[in-house]
Amino acid sequence: MLGQLGDLDDAASLDEQSPTPLYLQLQRLIQESVRAGRLEPDEALPSERDLARQLGISRVTVRKALAGLVEKGILVQRWGSGTFIAPSMHVEQALSRLSSFTDDMIARGMTPGTEIIESAVGASNPTESMALGLSPGEPVSRLQRLRLAGGVPMAIEHAVVPARFLPDPESVLSSLYAVLSARGHMPRRALQRLHAVLVNGDQAKLLKVPAASPALYIERRSFLENGEPIEFTSSYYRGDAYDFVAELSIGQADR
C-alpha cells in the first residue's frame, strides 16, 4: 500500500534537521499528496506502525500528525478499520440556478448540516439598507451560520433579511429558504457576485482549514416575485471544496 502513496514513502522528504517539527512535516506531506491527487478520497492510510517504520519516525509523531489532520477534516478515523482520506467534498454549483445550500447538498447525496453562530434582530447599517432597499435603520434579522456537508464545514454564511419578512431569525434552525418559503417569501431571482479571498484566523478555525487558505467570497442579493429584496447574504466558501459552474450561450445581440 505504501507504494501507492507517492511522496509518503519517501523518508527523505522528512528532515530531522529542519526547525519544523516532524509531525508538521508529515502533515504537510499528506496534505500535499491529497491536493496533488496522489492520495484519493476514501483511500486507506497505512497503519501508524507501518507509517512510522517506513518514514523512520516514532509512532507518537505519526499519531500526532494524523490526529491533527483528523481535526482539520482531511482524514477520518473509522473505528476498527483505520485512518482514511476524508470522502470527497467537492461540489459543483450551477451559477444559473437559484438554489439553497440545503437543496444543493441533498441533490448531491450529502447530508446538510447547520451550526448557528449568531442570530439577532437589529437596526440595518448603511450597507444593509442599500442592499435591501430599506430606510436607514429599518430592522433586519441577521443570521450567521456554519454550513456543513456530511459533518465537514463548507461555508460560513451571514444572511440579512428585512425583519418584516423574518421577525424571528432564531426560528431558522437549518434551512433559511425553507422558513421563508413556508411564510410565502421564497426568493425567485438573485444577483450574485464573487471573488477570491484568504480566510482570516477565525474563519479558518470554523472552516477547519489552515490560516490564510483560499476561499470564495460570495454576495447574494435575492428578490421576491414582485421585485422586493428579501436577502443579502455574504458567504465564505472553502476554495478547495467548491466549483461554481456557469452555462454560457451566445446572446441575441451577438448572433
Cell 432564531 sits on residue: 170
Q: Judge residue 78's burial from the number of C-beta atoms within 10 Å of its C-beta, 0-12 exposed, 13-18 middle, 19 or more buried.
A: exposed
- Quick one: cell of 120? 439577532
99-128 residues labelled b (16+ CB within 10 A) or e (exposed) = ebbbebbeeeebebbbeeeebeeeebeeeb
Contacting residue, 152, 218, 230, 241, with ligand 16G by CB under 6 A: 218
For residue 102, the minimal CB distance to ligand 16G (Å) is 3
Nearer Cβ to ligand 16G (11/191)? 191
The helix (H) or strand (E) run that includes residue 174 is: none
For residue 124, the minimal CB distance to ligand 16G (Å) is 17
Contacting residue, 113, 235, 236, 241, with ligand 16G by CB under 6 A: 235
CA dist., res. 139 & res. 121, Å (int): 7
Residues 80-119 that bind ligand 16G (CB under 6 A): 100-102
- Residue 141 interacting with ligand 16G (CB under 6 A): no
Nearer Cβ to ligand 16G (70/190)? 190
For residue 100, the minimal CB distance to ligand 16G (Å) is 3
For residue 182, the minimal CB distance to ligand 16G (Å) is 11
Contacting residue, 74, 220, 236, 241, with ligand 16G by CB under 6 A: 220
- Residue 234 interacting with ligand 16G (CB under 6 A): no
- Residue 146 interacting with ligand 16G (CB under 6 A): no
- Residue 175 interacting with ligand 16G (CB under 6 A): yes
Question: Do 234 and 158 meet the contact criterion of CB atoms below 8 Å apart?
Answer: yes
Residue 18 CA: distances (Å) to CA of 23, 55, 209: 12, 15, 24
For residue 237, the minimal CB distance to ligand 16G (Å) is 7
Q: Which of 34, 109, 96, 108 has its CA nearest to residue 69? A: 34
3-class DSSP assignment, residue 38: coil
Nearer Cβ to ligand 16G (57/160)? 160
Contacting residue, 233, 236, 238, 241, with ligand 16G by CB under 6 A: 233
CA dist., res. 99 & res. 177, Å (int): 9
Contacting residue, 176, 204, 207, 215, with ligand 16G by CB under 6 A: 176
For residue 180, the minimal CB distance to ligand 16G (Å) is 8
Q: Residue 3 is which amino acid?
A: G
- Residue 159 interacting with ligand 16G (CB under 6 A): yes
Cell 474563519 sits on residue: 203
Residues that bind ligand 16G (CB under 6 A): 100-102, 157, 159, 175-178, 218, 220, 231, 233, 235
